[in-house]
Amino acid sequence: MTTSVISADTTPGAATAARGSIELRQVRKTYGDVVAVDELDLVVQPGEFVTLLGPSGSGKTTTMMMVAGFEEHTSGSVLIDGKPVDALPPRERNLGVVFQNYALFPHMNARENVEFALRMRKIPRAERRERAEAALERVGLGGLGGRRPRQLSGGQQQRVALARSLVFNPAALLLDEPMAALDKRLREHMQEEIKTLQKSLGISVLFVTHDQDEAMAMSDRIVVMKDGRIVQSGPPEEVYAHPLTDWVASFLGDTNLVPCTVLERHGSEAVVDLGGLGIGRVQDRGVVGERYAVSIRPEHLKFRPGAPEENGGTGTMVSSTNLGATIRHRITAGGHELQLRELSSESTGRSGAAGEVHVGWDAANAQLLVLEG
Ligand code: ADP
Ligand code: MG
C-alpha cells in the first residue's frame, strides 16, 4: 500500500494565508494563421485550484506558457497578485512551474536540481542547501538529494520537479500535465498528494490536464477549453451535472445523446420528440421547433419492468461488460445505441441475456443541450 509521503505541515517561513491570484484579460495568441488562444478571460483566486481541461490542441499549454512568461502573448494582459507581469521575465513572476517537457538536469543530483532556481536568484550557498533539503523533505524525498535523475523512478523525478517549483516559495503553481508519464496508480496517488500540499500551503494552482477524471478529482473549478476558447467554467460537479452543450457533456464522461426537437413547453418543462424513442420530457427550457440533444448519463438510464410511455423505450441488448464495480450494457432502442451502467452489486442478472429490454430515465436526469458537435 502507498502512504502519503508529502508532509502536511508547513515549512518555517512559508506563508499559510491564501495568496497568488492569476488573472488573464482578453489574452490572445496567434502563430501565423493559427489562433492558439482566443480572447481568454480567466481569474484564479488566491488559494484556488483551477484546471484547464480540453482535448489536445485546445490551447492549454499555450495559455500556461503565457502565464509563466515563456511565450509572449499577441494581445491582452496577464496579472499576478493584481499586478501586470507582461513585461517581466519568467524568473520575476514568482511562479512555480512543473511542465511535462520541463525536464530535470540529468548531470545534477536531486538537491542541485532543486537548488538551481535559488542559485539563479543569488541566494547564499548555506541557505540554498537548507531550503532545498526542506523542499525535498516536503515531497517525501528526504535523504535522496544525492541521487541523479536516472537513479530515481518516474514518480520520484516528478517529486523533484515539484520540490524545485516550491523551493522559492512562489505565489502560485503552474502544473501542465505533470503526471502524464506516470502509471494510473501512481498518478492517483500524486493527485492526492498535490491536493494535500496545495491546501497546506494555501497556494493557488493553475493545472492542465486532458483527463476528465483527474480534473474532477482535483479541481475547485474546471475551465473547459476548445479551439483556444473557454466553453464552460464551474465547479466539477456543476460542469458534470449541467454541461452547456452536447460537446461538453460527451467530453466530460460518457453520456447518451439523443437528438430531439422541442414540441411544446409548459413552464420550465419541455416536451420533446426523440424520434424512434418517442416522446420525452425535460426540465430545461428550449425553443419550440428547434433541434437539441437530450443527454442521459449511463448511470441514469435504468431497466424498466414494462415499456415506458415516455422518457425511454424498448430495445434489444447488444452486449454486457462486467467492469468490476459496475456493469456496462449496450442496448439499441429506437435506432439509437444507448449505454446503461449499473452497480454490479445491484444488477438484476440481465447481464449477458439477449432479447427485448425496456429502458427509461427520470425527467430530472435528462438534459436539453445545445448542439455544438
Ligand atoms: P494543448 O496544450 O491544449 O494541447 P497547445 O496550446 O499546445 O494545445 O496548442 C494550441 C494550438 O496552437 C494548436 O493548434 C497548436 O498546433 C498550436 N501551436 C502551439 N504552439 C505552436 C508553435 N510554437 N507554433 C505554431 N503553432 C503552435
Ligand atoms: Mg499541452
Mark whether 225 and 271 lie in a shared domain.
Answer: no
Mark whether 220 and 293 lie in a shared domain.
Answer: no
Q: What is the pLDDT of residue 18?
A: 54
Q: Is residue 13 part of a domain?
A: no
Query: With a 6 A CB cut-off, is 28 part of the ligand 1 pocket?
Result: no
Q: Is residue 9 part of a domain?
A: no
Residue nearest to ligand 1 atom 15, measured at CA: 57
Query: With a 6 A CB cut-off, is 57 part of the ligand 1 pocket?
Result: yes
Mark whether 87 and 44 lie in a shared domain.
Answer: yes
Count of domains for the chain: 2
Query: With a 6 A CB cut-off, is 36 part of the ligand 1 pocket?
Result: yes
Q: What is the pLDDT of residue 289?
A: 96
Give the list of residues 6+ apart from residue 169 with CB closer than 8 angstroms, or none: 13, 14, 15
Atom of ligand 1 nearest to the CA of 54: 3
Please say whether the beta carbons of 86 and 78 come within 8 A: yes
C-alpha cell at position 198: 496545495
Q: Is residue 200 part of a domain?
A: yes
C-alpha cell at position 225: 477549453
C-alpha cell at position 54: 480540453
Mark whether 223 and 267 lie in a shared domain.
Answer: no
Residue that finishes a domain, picked among 185, 215, 241 = 241
The rounded distance, in Å, linking the Cα atoms of 113 and 24 is: 30
Mark whether 267 and 179 lie in a shared domain.
Answer: no
Q: Is residue 359 part of a domain?
A: yes
Nearest to 343 by CA among 302, 295, 296: 302
Q: Is residue 5 part of a domain?
A: no
User: Closest ligand to 101 CA?
Assistant: 2
Distance 56 CA to ligand 2 centre (A): 6
Residue that finishes a domain, picked among 210, 241, 272 = 241
Mark whether 228 and 166 lie in a shared domain.
Answer: yes
Mark whether 260 and 114 lie in a shared domain.
Answer: no
Query: With a 6 A CB cut-off, is 58 part of the ligand 1 pocket?
Result: yes
Could you give the 3-state DSSP secondary structure of residue 20? coil
**Could you report how far apart the first and last alpha carbons of the chain are, in Å?**
43
Q: Is residue 16 part of a domain?
A: no
Q: What is the pLDDT of residue 101?
A: 64
Distance 36 CA to ligand 1 centre (A): 6
Please choose from 62, 99, 101, 230 the residue to mutate so as to test ligand 1's pocket, defined by most ligand atoms within 8 A of CB.
Answer: 62
Q: What is the pLDDT of residue 334?
A: 93
Distance 138 CA to ligand 2 centre (A): 27
CATH of the domain at 276: 2.40.50.100
Mark whether 232 and 260 lie in a shared domain.
Answer: no
Q: What is the pLDDT of residue 161?
A: 93
Q: What is the pLDDT of residue 6?
A: 53
Could you give the 3-state DSSP secondary structure of residue 138? helix
Residue that finishes a domain, picked among 189, 214, 241 = 241
DSSP per position, 248-282:
HHHHSS--EEEEEEEEEEETTEEEEE-GGG-EEEE
Q: What is the pLDDT of residue 146?
A: 96
Please choose from 27, 29, 31, 35 the residue to mutate so as to test ligand 1's pocket, defined by most ligand atoms within 8 A of CB.
Answer: 31
**Encoded amino acid at 96, one letter:** G
Mark whether 177 and 297 lie in a shared domain.
Answer: no
Nearest to 79 by CA among 31, 21, 34, 161: 21
Q: Is residue 34 part of a domain?
A: yes
Question: Domain span at residue 358?
Answer: 253-369
Q: Is residue 17 part of a domain?
A: no
CATH of the domain at 189: 3.40.50.300
DSSP per position, 227-245:
TTEEEEEE-HHHHHHS-SB
**Encoded amino acid at 369, one letter:** L
C-alpha cell at position 52: 484547464
Backbone angles phi, psi at 188, to 5 degrees: -65, -35
Mark whether 115 and 179 lie in a shared domain.
Answer: yes
List, run by run, the mean pLDDT of 10-residue segments along the chain (373 residues): 45 51 97 96 96 96 96 96 94 90 87 91 92 91 93 90 91 91 85 90 94 94 97 95 92 93 93 96 90 96 94 94 94 96 84 74 94 82
Query: With a 6 A CB cut-off, is 223 part of the ligand 1 pocket?
Result: no
Mark whether 232 and 290 lie in a shared domain.
Answer: no
The rounded distance, in Å, linking the Cα atoms of 108 and 106 is: 6
Distance 72 CA to ligand 1 centre (A): 13
Mark whether 235 and 121 lie in a shared domain.
Answer: yes
